[in-house]
């Protein structure tokens, strides 16, 4: 029965190491947890701050959120995501809406669209995409300033029919070698603006009971 004893011993040693490694992971998890939450919040806040800089609002954007259901019409969301309210002296001066372009060149392009209360664009940022490096990825601000072309535009500037790439007779440039990606982003932005227009009353209301 020697083999039985050696299995038993092996099992014990394995269990011992499983316990030790689990403890090490658990301890690291507990001691980094708060730092990780902080890092996530900071990354989120930095992204929002790019659209509505510090001096345009006096609330904590990361905390002032509302839920947008998946499949909300016009936004193209695949799953529930958060929108953000931008307040100045309690008044809602803008919102940041998540939008998803499902017609990217390779997969979804997820964006954040900042809309001011007068219906104009405060800024658009691409948060996640899988577009071709060097061609379609110019929608990313780190690669090209193209996305800044949306700033201060609105549904009547340019006219609704002009919200497209210049190849389709629109007012926005495409990139050399990539038309599908910018077209998808432009249309997603337009739809987000339309959503903001349709839901103006609920998005920009200032709840009286808000502290």
Partner 1 sequence: MNQPSYSQLTVNGLWKNNPALVQLLGLCPLLAVTASTVNALGLAAATLFVLMVSNTAVSLIRNVVSDTIRLPVFVMIIAAAVTITELLMQAYSYELYQILGIFLPLITTNCIILGRADAFARKNPLPAAIYDGFIMGMGFGLVLVLLGGIRELLGTGALFADMQLLFGSDAAQWRWEIFSVDYPFLVAILPPGAFLVTGCLIALKNQIDLSLQRRTRAGTGLESVGSKRVRVTGSVSEASSG
CB neighbour list of residue 89: distance below 8 Å, 6 or more residues apart = 58
Nearer to partner 1, 36 or 148 (CB): 36
Nearer to partner 1, 25 or 70 (CB): 25
Sole binder of partner 1 in the list 40, 80, 90, 205 (CB under 8 A): 40
Instruction: Lay out the sheet containing 121-128: strands in order across.
Output: 65-68, 81-88, 91-101, 109-116, 121-128
The three-state secondary structure class of 154 is: strand
> Integer distance in angstroms from the first to the last C-alpha of the chain?
74
Nearer to partner 1, 2 or 142 (CB): 142
Name the strand (E) or helix (H) holding 22: helix 2-51
Sole binder of partner 1 in the list 5, 55, 176, 208 (CB under 8 A): 176
Q: Note whether 36 binds partner 1 by CB under 8 A.
A: yes
Q: Note whether 29 binds partner 1 by CB under 8 A.
A: yes
Radius of gyration in angstroms for the set of CA atoms belonging to the chain, rounded to a whole number? 24
Sole binder of partner 1 in the list 2, 67, 118, 142 (CB under 8 A): 142
Q: What are phi and psi of 107, to 5 degrees?
A: 90, -175
Sole binder of partner 1 in the list 6, 151, 157, 166 (CB under 8 A): 6
Sole binder of partner 1 in the list 9, 70, 148, 160 (CB under 8 A): 9
Q: Are 84 and 48 in contact (CB under 8 A)?
A: yes
CB of 180 to partner 1, least distance (A): 16
Sole binder of partner 1 in the list 1, 2, 4, 13 (CB under 8 A): 13
Structure tokens, 36: 């990780």
Q: Note whether 130 binds partner 1 by CB under 8 A.
A: no
Residue appearing with tokens 């200032």: 206
Q: Which residues pair with 85 in a beta bridge?
A: 95
Name the strand (E) or helix (H) holding 82: strand 81-88
Sole binder of partner 1 in the list 8, 10, 53, 107 (CB under 8 A): 10
Which positions touch partner 1 (CB under 8 A)?
A: 6, 9-10, 13-14, 17-18, 21-22, 24-25, 28-29, 32, 35-36, 39-40, 42-43, 132-135, 142, 176
């Amino acid at each position: 029965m020697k083999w039985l004893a050696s299995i038993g011993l092996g099992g014990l040693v394995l269990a011992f190491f499983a316990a030790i490694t689990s403890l090490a992971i658990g301890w690291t998890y507990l001691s980094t947890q708060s730092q990780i939450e902080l890092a996530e919040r900071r990354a989120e806040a930095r992204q929002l701050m790019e659209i509505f800089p510090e001096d345009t609002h006096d609330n904590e954007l990361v905390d002032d959120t509302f839920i947008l259901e998946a499949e909300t019409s016009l936004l193209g969301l695949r799953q529930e995501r958060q929108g953000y309210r931008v307040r100045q002296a309690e008044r809602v001066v803008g919102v940041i809406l998540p939008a998803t372009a499902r017609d990217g060149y390779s997969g979804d392009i997820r964006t954040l669209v900042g809309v001011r209360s007068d219906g104009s664009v405060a800024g658009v940022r691409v948060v996640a995409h899988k577009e071709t490096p060097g061609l379609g990825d110019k929608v990313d601000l780190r690669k090209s300033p193209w996305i800044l072309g949306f700033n201060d535009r609105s549904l009547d500037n340019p006219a609704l029919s002009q919200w497209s790439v210049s190849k389709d007779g629109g007012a926005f440039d495409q990139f050399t070698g990539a038309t599908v990606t910018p077209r998808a982003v432009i249309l997603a932005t337009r739809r987000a603006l339309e959503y903001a227009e349709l839901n103006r009353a609920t998005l920009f209301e200032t709840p009286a009971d808000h502290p």
